[in-house]
Structure 1
Amino acid sequence: MAEKQKDQRQQEPQQSVIAKALVTGFTAGILWSGLGAFAYYFNFTEVSPASFIFRSFWQTDWTGTWLAEVLAVLIVGILSLGTALIYYLLLKKRNGMWPGAFYGIGLWAIVYFLLTPIFPAIPTFMELNSDTWVTTGCLFILYGVFIGYSISYEYREFNETVNSYSNQGRV
């Protein structure tokens, strides 16, 4: 069974860990901002991805439509490439869910405390209701755990594969 897995790994085209980290970042951005858009639609939160991306800069009718939400989710996916790259550069060697959870909490704090003045359509933290605090906090934590766990897993898996190949050469 182990030989079959090794053969399968050798047949798969090797993608670099950083490329997988970027794919993970894009996927995380799409997934969790999409869930954020649903949370906004069902009134779990007062803000949506389109609130940050579009409504803060343009007050037009289309920014309140589903098209704006879909475009905002795609833009968040693209912006998530940067957050995944930062995680890769700083925390890829950390194992477990806690580094990702703390990364998500840090991102949440940056967005809602430091960047709020940039987004006029977003109320200040104290003006938001507790449902928004909890919902967005949980979404950011899950986003961070998704990115963190995936990137650290791929990094560890890649290093184990490299080490096993280098150890085979010594036998």
Structure 2
Amino acid sequence: MKVDKELSQNNREESMSVTAKSLVTGFAGGLIWSTLGLIMYFFSFSEVAPRSFVLRSWNTAEWTSGWLGNVLSIIIIGLLSLISAFIYYGLFRKVNTLWMGAAFGIVLWVIIFFVLQPVYPNVPDLVNLNSYTIVSTICLYILYGTFVGYSISYDYADTVKKDEQQKEN
């Protein structure tokens, strides 16, 4: 039986590249986990809100503490998360394990809360944060790192597997 190459079911759609998928994953991860960070702030699981990092550190206008400031902060964090996803893609895309993503999240937390803390005057020093803020934000960053890291690694491994199968056929 001859296969008709003109049939639409036989034509494979061109999918996004792994790099593009990684950037989309990073943006989505930034949106999702910064929204969860805002929810944690509203329910007093954390002393710091996402707006404390991206808006309130440089702009003290009244609107930055309202809903517009929260939404804009979440979008900015989503955009900054593109950088994080690109770094993960460049360094760890071949490591297909949840633990690398969790470790990546912990490293990001250390960078944000310890190394870059002087850049954020509205965020208390690490020694002045209460224990539930420290624990909840570490958990949030671990979840973010796991989401972004494992998604990127899985997409990369899946793409490599599909490419190998195509070469065999």
Q: TM-score, normalised by structure 2?
A: 0.92
* AA of the residue aligned to 1:137: I
The answer to whether 1:89 aligns with 2:90 is: yes
Q: TM-score, normalised by structure 1?
A: 0.91
- Number of aligned residue pairs: 162
* AA of the residue aligned to 2:44: N
1:55-134 alignment to 2 at 5 Å? 55-134=56-135
1:31 corresponds to: 32
Distance 1:44 1:65 in 2: 19
Identity %: 48
- Compare 8-17 and 55-64 and name the one that shifted more: 8-17
Describe the SS at the equivalent of 2:55: helix
- Compare 68-77 and 7-16 and name the one that shifted more: 7-16
Deviation sequence 1:105-128 (CA, Å, 0-9, x none): 000000000000001001000101
What is the CA distance between 1:143 and its match in structure 2? 0.3
Q: Which has the higher helix share?
A: 1
1:4 corresponds to: none
2:5 corresponds to: none
Distance 1:23 1:155 in 2: 14
Stretches of structure 2 that go unaligned for 5 or more consecutive residues are: 1-7
1:3 corresponds to: none
What is the CA distance between 1:11 and its match in structure 2? 2.8
Q: What is the RMSD computed on CA atoms of the aligned residues?
A: 1.4
- Compare 96-105 and 12-21 and name the one that shifted more: 12-21
Describe the SS at the equivalent of 1:55: coil
* AA of the residue aligned to 2:56: R
